[in-house]
């Protein structure tokens, strides 16, 4: 066995290869600043075999029995950055749950990446994975977190570790969300890590699924519900990884790779839903057209907006909001409820530019029905139809319905339906930034040391932080150089 200090040195040097495609120019080192407001460091959570740090965000008034979310940062990031920019704190306040932000440091990895590629850290009972599970156990004992509703999410290397945790601990995590990440056990050595990033092995769905099943032999389910987020212009962790993740988790669930339905969401995002045998979403993929490497966020005050833009936090769509809905953190847990069964047959029967009409099947014993739009109650009705009005043109909305008995006790919430109102034209948008920043944000790509605008493929010059251009986006995902002036609806 190598002396511990030599092993750590070799691991830190080799980790540079594991993120060879991460642009080091402009990479942000982990801040040594104190935790952000509301974020508290927790010590003494366990034996901590993976040498991680634990930070927690626990909103006031969250009762015992609430869900728990574990959120893993990407390379060169920190718990502070993920807390401040990802949007998880906002929905923890709004929907009432606790969040744990594990943090690794340069002491573990030269670029502060979680060790998704190292079996000493990514497998059951070992290293960083075991430390994360100790944090979950601490939260259950200290905050009273509901053991049935523990979820894990992560970006990039944190996404790779998320997949590994879901595979190794399906008895701990009810669901996961992998953003710009890697399939579970894609790489089992540091030398193989960069190959996974550029294009994982060409395995069949059953071979990918076997990697999950081998992570906890003998486990037969239930399996976690998995959301997969990926930008189509990600040249750090290539989109082929999202396909492999989909193949892996649909195979584990025993369902096909053809989506049950496909929907259009804001931010040029396509959601594909893969339902289990009961008709509930088991796996969902979110493909963000033109987005580069990072976590999708959508700064703003709307119900479905969240986060702040920063390095690897990209202004497209609030992935945290849609992930939270998928997991049922807003109260719409699939199959949940202690009263009447969920209404079946919920559908959108028509849309206008300002409204949408809904209908569903009656539930025996129901005295009324509650309709939710994007997780927020909009009405209670005694009938099995409703027309929602006052909506914004050209905007996607999500509805669910629950039945209630004469005593007002609500039953299970239906499967969701999504529709987009008619009309509405997104204004052109203008972005002024360095060529490096344009590529990072997914507005441009690189070839031969130059940056090229996505869509128009115009040559923007050298790929670095010294050349600056203004790009105009119209239509979505198509960028042209507009240095001489750019008329747009926003900038």
Please identify every residue annotated as catalytic. Answer: 156
- Residues contacting 257, CB < 8 A, separation 6+: 205, 246, 247, 250, 274
Contact 471, 444 (CB under 8 A): yes
Pairing type for strands 429-434 and 468-473 reads: antiparallel
Sequence-separated contacts (24+) of 199-204 with Cβ below 8 Å:
199/238, 199/240, 200/240, 200/241, 200/244, 201/244, 203/244, 203/247, 204/247
Contact 447, 415 (CB under 8 A): no
Tokens of 447: 């070839």
Distance CA 116, CA 100 (A): 18
Distance CA 60, CA 344 (A): 36
- Rg of the chain over all Cα atoms, to the nearest angstrom: 22
Distance CA 375, CA 461 (A): 46
Tokens of 21: 């495609």
């Amino acid at each position: 066995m190598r002396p511990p200090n030599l092993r750590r040195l070799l691991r830190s040097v080799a980790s540079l290869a594991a993120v060879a495609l991460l642009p080091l120019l402009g990479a942000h080192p982990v801040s040594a600043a104190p935790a952000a407001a509301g974020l508290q460091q927790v010590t003494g959570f366990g034996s901590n075999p993976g040498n991680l740090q634990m930070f927690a965000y626990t909103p006031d008034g969250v009762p015992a029995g609430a869900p728990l979310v574990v959120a893993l940062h990407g390379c060169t990031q920190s718990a502070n950055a993920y807390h401040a920019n990802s949007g998880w704190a906002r929905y923890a306040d709004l929907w009432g749950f606790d969040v744990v932000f594990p943090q690794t440091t340069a002491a573990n990895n030269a670029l502060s990446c979680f060790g998704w590629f190292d079996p000493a850290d990514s497998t059951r009972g070992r290293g960083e994975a075991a430390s994360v599970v100790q944090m979950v156990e601490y939260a259950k004992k200290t905050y009273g977190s509901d053991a049935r509703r523990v979820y894990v999410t992560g970006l990039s290397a944190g996404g790779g570790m998320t997949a590994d945790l879901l595979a190794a601990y399906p008895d701990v995590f009810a669901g996961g969300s992998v953003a710009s990440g890697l399939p579970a056990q894609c790489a089992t050595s540091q030398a193989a890590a960069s190959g996974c990033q550029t294009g994982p092995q060409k395995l069949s769905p059953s071979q990918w699924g076997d990697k999950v099943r081998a992570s906890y032999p003998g486990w037969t389910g239930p399996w976690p519900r998995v959301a997969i987020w990926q930008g189509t212009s990600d040249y750090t962790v290539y989109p082929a990884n999202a396909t492999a993740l989909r193949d892996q988790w649909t195979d584990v669930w025993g369902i096909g790779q053809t989506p049950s339905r496909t929907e259009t969401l804001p931010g040029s995002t396509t959601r594909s839903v893969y339902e289990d045998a009961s008709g509930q979403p088991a796996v969902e993929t979110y493909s963000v057209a033109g987005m580069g490497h990072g976590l999708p966020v959508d700064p703003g005050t709307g119900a479905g907006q969240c986060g702040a833009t920063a390095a690897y936090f990209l202004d497209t769509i609030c992935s945290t909001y849609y992930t939270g809905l998928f997991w049922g953190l807003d109260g719409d847990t699939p199959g949940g409820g202690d009263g009447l069964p969920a209404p079946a047959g919920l559908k959108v029967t028509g849309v206008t530019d300002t409204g949408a009409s809904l209908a569903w099947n009656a539930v025996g014993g129901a005295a009324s029905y509650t309709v939710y739009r994007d997780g927020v109650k909009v009405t209670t009705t005694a009938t099995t139809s409703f027309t929602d009005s006052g909506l914004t043109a050209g905007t996607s909305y999500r509805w669910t319905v629950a039945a209630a008995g004469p005593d007002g006790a609500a039953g299970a919430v239906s499967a969701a339906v999504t529709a987009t109102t008619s009309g509405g034209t997104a204004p052109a948008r203008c972005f002024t930034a360095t060529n490096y920043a344009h590529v990072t944000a997914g507005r441009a790509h690189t070839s031969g040391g130059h940056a090229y605008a996505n869509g128009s493929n115009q040559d923007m010059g050298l790929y670095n932080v010294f050349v600056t251009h203004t790009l105009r986006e119209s239509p979505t995902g198509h960028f042209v150089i507009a240095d001489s002036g750019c008329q747009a609806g926003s900038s």
